[in-house]
């Protein structure tokens, strides 16, 4: 099926025999439903088969009792252009992450672009170009069709409110990690965060020690003063603040607590636990902070889910919510939840073959990553049995 501008549309899609339906909503993580109906990329029905209109689908998928969750949202990536990263000179990394269940990536700045401009007009031009280029690539099906929300300028000293207004008017919705440019002081950052917020742009701040030689240290006092929407890699990227400092961020801020794969794993576990104890689990969101010096981790999101569920002892269905619905709500995205009206971005999973766990959730709680059997974006099948995860016991099939 074709829609405007030649973009492929899903038509009517029926998914039946879902064994476990994870909603992405940590307040109600498991839905009593086995059937989903999609029309042109949007969820139109969620329920029991007998209660849904499953007639005459353009595409019929038998989930064969596997689990379905919203596609994973990687809250912290560093794309550059196309499905290529100069950080590790790797081609196809975005499509490889699709095979790890990721359907949305959020840029924390296109900082690895060789010769990245640091003058203000150059910063703005790069942000607008990156936003356009990744949206265009997605519509053309590049990078496996993953939604790469890019165009995240790294703010520099000397920017004025009009610069934020200009970028917002041009479609830029994010700021790159504060602290990677020349703005490193809390008061200066706060003013720019406020300008960004006023014009509808979200902000993220680098937290902890420098990522690579030449980048800076941002401590908890600067993070609190800047008051960005997302406390980026609260567990360091890689080098973490002390646990005491991270507790201060949990307790004195109400902003999103972003835990990343390319950070300190001990602090990742402690932060997740602390958020549960403080009764603010809705603030926990997950990312990889890749590509980075540690490389690209196509299974990084699944590894984070297994790590936090098993080591912080948080039910797996809640941790899947950290990687989907929490990010959707903290970042005001339509995707990431299984609800009527939401985009049909799904990952189908089952326990990995020979896992000690008796089912998907049990296997994740035991620390095993699941097997991915299919990924859909906008109701379109973007990959079937993953080439990257361990093989799932059962996988969905395309009936027609
Ligand atoms: Zn960072």
40 CA distance to ligand 1 centroid (A)?
Answer: 37
* Distance (Å) from CA 289 to ligand 1 centroid: 7
Average pLDDT of the chain, as a whole number: 96
Lowest mean pLDDT among 79-88, 212-221, 357-366, 383-392: 212-221
% of the chain residues with pLDDT over 70: 98
**130 C-alpha to ligand 1 centroid (Å):** 19
Q: How far is the CA of 9 from the centre of ligand 1 (A)?
A: 36
For residue 203, how far is its CA from the centre of ligand 1 (angstroms)? 13
Query: Distance, CA 67 to ligand 1 centroid (Å)?
Result: 33
Distance 174 CA to ligand 1 centre (A): 15
Same-domain status, 152 and 95: yes
> Measuring CA to CA, how many Å separate 302 from each of 71, 117, 142, 173, 395?
11, 34, 22, 27, 17
pLDDT tens column, 218-240: 999 999 999 999 999 999 999 99
One domain, residues 225 and 206? yes
How many whole angstroms from 314 Cα to the centroid of ligand 1?
26
CA of 157 to the centre of ligand 1 (A): 18
Look at residue 213 and tell me whether its pLDDT is greater than 50.
Answer: yes
Number of domains composing the chain: 2
101 inside domain: yes
Q: Does some domain include residue 103?
A: yes
Domain that residue 239 falls in: 72-298
At residue 3, the pLDDT reads 45
CA of 59 to the centre of ligand 1 (A): 42
* C-alpha 25 – ligand 1 centre gap (Å): 27
Q: Measured in angstroms, how far is the CA atom of residue 211 from the centroid of ligand 1? A: 6
Is the pTM for the entire model greater than 0.75?
yes
Same domain, 211 and 345: no
CATH number of the domain enclosing 44: 2.30.40.10
Let me know if residue 382 belongs to a domain. yes
User: How many beta carbons lie within 10 A of that of residue 114, not counting itself?
Assistant: 6
Beta-sheet strand order (sheet of 102-107):
72-77, 102-107, 147-149
Q: Give tens-digit pLDDT for 183-211.
A: 999 999 999 999 999 999 999 999 999 98
How far does the centroid of ligand 1 lie from the alpha carbon of residue 323, in Å? 19
Query: Is residue 311 domain-resident?
Result: no
Decide which of 298, 313, 329 is a domain's last residue: 298
Cα of 116 vs centre of ligand 1, distance in Å, is 16
The tens digit of pLDDT for each residue in 4-30 reads 455 789 999 999 999 999 999 999 999
What would the pLDDT profile of 255-309 be if each residue is shown by its tens digit? 999 999 999 999 999 999 999 999 999 999 999 999 999 999 999 999 999 999 9
Please give the distance, rounded to the nearest whole angstrom, from the Cα atom of residue 194 to the centre of ligand 1. Answer: 20
Ligand 1 centre distance from Cα of residue 240 (Å):
11
- Give the Å distance between the CA of 42 and the centre of ligand 1: 34
Average pLDDT over residues 132-137: 97
pLDDT at 212: 83
Residue 336: per-residue pLDDT: 98
Last residue of a domain, one of 270, 298, 326: 298
pLDDT value of residue 6: 56
| Same domain flag for 215 and 77 | yes
- Specify whether the CB–CB gap between 336 and 26 falls below 8 A: no
Mean pLDDT of 237-263: 97
pLDDT band at 342 (very low <50, low <70, confident <90, very high): very high
Around Cβ 198, how many Cβ atoms within 10 Å?
A: 12
Q: Is residue 109 domain-shared with residue 199, that is, in the same domain? A: yes
Residue 32 CA to ligand 1 centre (angstroms)? 39
Does 64 map to a domain?
Answer: yes
How far is the CA of 265 from the CAs of 93, 95, 240, 270, in angstroms? 23, 25, 9, 9
Please indicate, yes or no, whether residues 42 and 81 belong to a single structural domain of this protein.
no
- State the pLDDT at residue 4: 47
Q: Work out the pLDDT band at 388, boundaries 50, 70, 90.
A: very high
> Rounded to the nearest whole angstrom, what is the distance from the C-alpha of residue 206 to the centroid of ligand 1?
4
Task: Please check whether residues 384 and 262 belong to one and the same domain.
Answer: no
Last residue of a domain, which of 241, 270, 298? 298
Same domain, 200 and 225: yes
Which CATH number goes with the domain that contains 287? 3.20.20.140
- 214 and 180 both lie in a single domain: yes
Whole-number pLDDT of residue 1: 46
Task: Specify whether 51 is located in the same domain as 169.
Answer: no
392 shares its domain with 367 = yes
115 domain-assigned: yes
In a domain, 313, yes or no: no
* Any domain includes 356: yes
User: And the tokens for 81?
Assistant: 């252009």
d(CA 196, CA 254): 18
**142-154 mean pLDDT:** 97
Task: Say how many Å lie between the CA of residue 141 and the centre of ligand 1.
Answer: 29
Same domain, 38 and 88: no
Distance 232 CA to ligand 1 centre (A): 7
Residue-level pLDDT at 204: 98
């Amino acid at each position: 099926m074709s829609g405007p501008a030649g973009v492929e549309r899903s038509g009517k899609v029926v998914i039946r025999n879902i064994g476990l339906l994870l909603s992405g909503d940590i307040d109600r993580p498991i839905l009593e439903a086995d059937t989903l109906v999609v029309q042109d990329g949007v969820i139109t029905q969620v329920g029991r088969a007998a209660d849904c209109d499953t007639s005459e689908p353009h595409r019929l998928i038998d989930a064969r009792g596997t689990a379905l969750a919203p596609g994973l949202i990687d809250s912290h990536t560093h794309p550059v252009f196309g499905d290529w990263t100069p950080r590790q000179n790797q081609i196809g990394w975005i499509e490889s992450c699709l095979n790890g269940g990721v359907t949305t990536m959020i840029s924390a700045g296109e900082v690895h672009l060789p010769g990245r401009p640091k003058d203000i007009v150059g910063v703005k031009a790069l942000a607008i170009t990156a936003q356009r280029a990744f949206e265009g690539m997605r519509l053309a099906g590049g990078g496996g069709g993953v939604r790469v929300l890019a165009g995240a300028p790294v703010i520099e000293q000397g920017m004025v409110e009009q610069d934020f207004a200009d970028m917002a008017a041009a479609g830029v919705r994010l700021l790159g990690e504060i602290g990677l440019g020349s703005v490193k002081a809390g008061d200066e950052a706060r003013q720019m965060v406020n300008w960004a917020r006023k014009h509808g742009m979200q902000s993220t701040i680098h937290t902890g020690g420098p990522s690579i030689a030449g980048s800076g240290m941002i401590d908890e006092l600067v993070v609190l003063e800047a008051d960005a929407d997302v406390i980026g890699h609260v567990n360091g990227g890689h080098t973490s603040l002390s646990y005491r400092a991270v507790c201060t961020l949990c307790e004195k801020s109400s902003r999103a607590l972003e835990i990343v794969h390319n950070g300190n794993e001990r602090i990742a576990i402690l932060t997740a636990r602390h958020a549960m104890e403080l009764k603010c689990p809705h603030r926990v969101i997950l990312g990889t902070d890749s590509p980075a010096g540690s490389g690209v981790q196509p299974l990084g999101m699944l590894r984070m889910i297994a790590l936090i569920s098993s080591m912080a002892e948080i039910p797996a269905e809640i941790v899947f919510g950290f990687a989907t619905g929490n990010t959707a709500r903290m970042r005001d995205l339509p995707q990431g939840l299984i609800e009527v009206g939401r985009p049909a971005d799904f990952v189908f999973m089952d326990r990995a073959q020979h896992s000690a766990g008796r089912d998907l959730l049990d296997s994740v709680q035991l620390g095993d990553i699941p097997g991915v059997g299919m990924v859909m974006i906008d109701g379109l099948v973007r990959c079937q049995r993953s080439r990257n995860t361990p093989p799932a016991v059962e996988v969905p099939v395309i009936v027609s």
